[in-house]
Amino acid sequence: DKPSYKWRRVLLKVSGEALAGDHTQNIDPKITMAIAREVASVTRLGIEASLKPLLSFICSMTFLFSPLESSLNLVVVTKFPFSVLVVVLLQYHVELWVAIVVGGGNIFRGSSRAGCSGLDRSSADYIGMLATVMNAIFLQATMESIGIPTRVQTAFRMSEVAEPYIRRRAVRHLEKGRVVIFAAGTGNPFFTTDTAAALRCAEINAEVVLKATNVDGVYDDDPRRNPNARLHDTLTYHEVTSKDLSVMDMTAITLCQENNIPVVVFNLTKSGNIAKAIKGERVGTLIGG
Ligand code: UDP
């Protein structure tokens, strides 16, 4: 069957907490590998990998037969079946890309550390942003270890380590089938990586923010304290803000609302959930208009 994907241009937000897995701090390599595998399976990379040998075979055959065709008038015999095959294959070819915004809360969260030993909020936030770069480099290395071409772009310059964020360049990478990981949040203190996710999503014209967390979605109460807490299937932006549900900070959710960006909050630790979310299957909570 032709794979059906609801979203073709996806912004995946991976929080630091999700990257930490069962550990309270740091990065769990099993989680980064699980993300890499799932992203590979749903993007062009996974689908194209199986088509590539066939497409190059078709191209070389077409090229090989062209001198013969003109002398023997064989165009219909050679090119026609090849062209039909290419058209059929392109039908099955899924143009889909995934960009990622990584958080840093597993390593350092500016808001909770500001004030300690005289650390001012801006400095604390810069440390937090640097933490996201560490996560991004780890995730990039994991992705590349299984053959996914990946670029990290940082919101402030660290040119020895990663590319600076350049919107057009990011889009070009994505169109070429590379995964782009956006690091260092928005580059400004007093913001969060959720806001960075909403911002980059709008900038690169992605269709959805998939917010990967450690819980199944948005509940009406804390499921860790209240076993009767109910999971919301859908929510409006207004419900999120008026009920003060802790999905995203206000700046991030407002940015999504203003730009009509749907947000899917889902559990990253359940295998197959990234693919499910992209396919539009029922997973987690969908927030929209
Ligand atoms: N941060 C920031 N500006 C941004 C994004 C992040 O100052 O645009 C800092 C902030 O200190 C934050 C930390 O980076 O606490 C890590 O980001 P966040 O808390 O959003 O990560 P997550 O909760 O997703 O792990």
Q: Give the containing element (helix H, strand E) for 58.
A: helix 44-72
pLDDT in tens, 73-117: 655 566 666 667 666 665 545 478 999 999 999 999 999 988 888
- Pick from 95, 179, 112, 176: nearest CA to 145: 179
**Is the beta carbon of 262 within 6 A of some atom in ligand 1?**
no
Residue type for position 233: D
Residues 121, 119: Cα–Cα separation, whole Å = 7
Residue 251 token pair:
């700046």
Q: Phi, psi at residue 100, to the nearest 5°?
A: -125, 135
How many residues are listed for the chain in this entry?
289
Please name the residues in contact with 108: beta carbons below 8 A apart, sequence gap of 6 or more. Answer: 124, 127, 128, 130, 131
pLDDT in tens, 118-132: 899 999 999 999 999
pLDDT in tens, 253-279: 999 999 999 999 999 989 999 989 988
**Is the beta carbon of 214 within 6 A of some atom in ligand 1?**
no
| ipTM confidence | 0.99
**Is the beta carbon of 192 within 6 A of some atom in ligand 1?**
yes
Residues 130, 165: Cα–Cα separation, whole Å = 15
Residue 50 has pLDDT above 80, yes or no: no
pLDDT in tens, 160-177: 999 999 999 999 999 999
pLDDT in tens, 201-230: 999 999 999 999 988 999 988 888 898 999
CB-facing half-sphere around the CA of 190: CA atoms within 13 A: 2
Please name the residues in contact with 186: beta carbons below 8 A apart, sequence gap of 6 or more. Answer: 155, 195, 196, 199
Per-residue pLDDT at 94: 47
**Is the beta carbon of 252 within 6 A of some atom in ligand 1?**
no
